[in-house]
Amino acid sequence: MDQSSLLGTAFDCQCGKHHNVPTKRMYYGDDALDYLDETIRASGNYKSILVIADQRTIDVAGQEVIRALNNAPYDVDTFIVPDNKGDSPAADDVTRDLLLDRAPRADLYLALGSGVINDLVKWIAYLRKTPYLVIATAASMNGYASANVAATIEGLKVLFHARACQAVFALPGIIINAPHELTTSGLGDVLAKSVSSADWKLNQFLFDDYYCQFSVDLLKNLEPIYLNNPRKIRNKDPEAYQALFEALFYSGIAMTITGTSSPASGGEHLISHTIDMLAGRDSGKHDYHGRQVGVASILTAALYEKIMDIENPQFCDVPDTINHDFWGSLTEIVQPEYQKKLPKIKKAICFLSEADNWNKLRSLIKPQLIEASKLKNCLLQAGAAHRYSDIRNNDESFKHSKFADVVIHANQMRDRFTILDLAVMLGVIPNQAEQLIEEWVSG
């Protein structure tokens, strides 16, 4: 399938939905910015454009962007999002309010950057009902073409639907020369797909939730390029980098057309979100999202393998409240999320206790999975984070006890049902959590 033929289209899908792809163009090549001005002109009669970046991304690509717009018949202004206490900006409600207060209005926004800048511009553009384009600076995350915003609001890591960009532009020279940790963060993010797709299928089976196989299959012809040849990522192979960037881009398309993050986000993301929330609570610093997700994907894939090998499940009583000692001041915002999930857990236990339902689940889920060993090897060979100790926590390595606490409690932070909940129902979490951590993501 030629994924590019999907851009800007609308079609009826076998999942029963009518899909709309609002992003019309993706240019990846040395000449990508040659198409910037004509794309802007074709998109509307804009008189003013605001480029939004941080200090790092404006240094990396600002000159190229200004040069591309040099002869444009509209006013071009730039807004630099300030750093957050000496660190990179954060996608949170404080920074949102700062942008709403200080960033000039314009007819069109250009997001120059990757994760945080992309989320902030998407958020502001949505609130101001303004279209936007993206100029990517790293293959670091899957949000470029996604309508979702991942942000922290009042301490809670949330995901909400906004509006996708009209086009994405990427220069290989900038993408390939981005810091390696950013690239391997993108690799960790996209490798979550097999686990998140399994979680999505799990919800369809247990609760008759919506599911779209088309969106799950959207990356199939791209995955082998980086999954089977991870050293190409380490060695900055142009083909592997393009495949990774396109996989991240179309992962965002999958989320946009389905209206959910489920094609790309499951229990592994809850582990990463929990790490982020604890850092925010404690005024600390966390690592790149995809580095955390990559490690969590190995562990959740191993959880799936262990649970799918169980022939006669024995279900446990699950806690009826969250662990207040673990969540501390976050308890008030996390507790309602967990309370919304409890009826799902009870329903799942009843359903899976009926004859043959467990074996039906196993036969549905197993084909979705990529082996934990393959995910680990891919991240290892690519030079990516693949152990909990690779994850930075306040500029130090994550400690075993803290990572185990995160894994044990991460299912409580959002009402979405995932492999983490299934593991709690079966007692695998907490009883075997430390053993699985030691086996798969230590060393």
Q: In sequence order, which residues have a C-beta less than 8 Å from that of residue 179 and are 6 or more positions away?
A: 138
Q: Does residue 395 surpass a pLDDT of 80?
A: yes
**Beta-bridge mates of residue 135:** 112, 169
d(CA 165, CA 158): 20
CATH class of 194-211+262-440: mainly alpha
The 10s digit of each residue's pLDDT in 152-187 is 898 888 888 899 999 999 999 999 999 999 999 999
Residue entry with tokens 């750093």: 83
**Beta-bridge mates of residue 160:** 149
Question: What 3 state SS string does 186-227 have?
Answer: HHHHHHCHHHHHHHHHHHHHHHCCCCCHHHHHHHCCCHHHHH
Q: Does residue 333 surpass a pLDDT of 90?
A: yes
Q: Does residue 1 surpass a pLDDT of 70?
A: no
d(CA 274, CA 291): 14
pLDDT tier for residue 338 given thresholds of 50, 70 and 90: very high
**Beta-bridge mates of residue 396:** 393
The pTM assigned to this predicted structure is 0.92
The 10s digit of each residue's pLDDT in 266-318 is 999 999 999 999 998 998 889 999 999 999 999 999 999 999 999 999 999 99
The residues spanned by each domain of the chain are: 3-178, 194-211+262-440
Q: List the one residue out of 22, 74, 68 whose CA is nearest residue 50.
A: 74
Report the chain's mean pLDDT, rounded to a whole number. 94
Across residues 327-337, what is the average pLDDT?
A: 95
3-178 has CATH 3.40.50.1970 classification: yes
pLDDT tier for residue 4 given thresholds of 50, 70 and 90: confident
Q: List the one residue out of 203, 248, 205, 204 whose CA is nearest residue 223.
A: 248
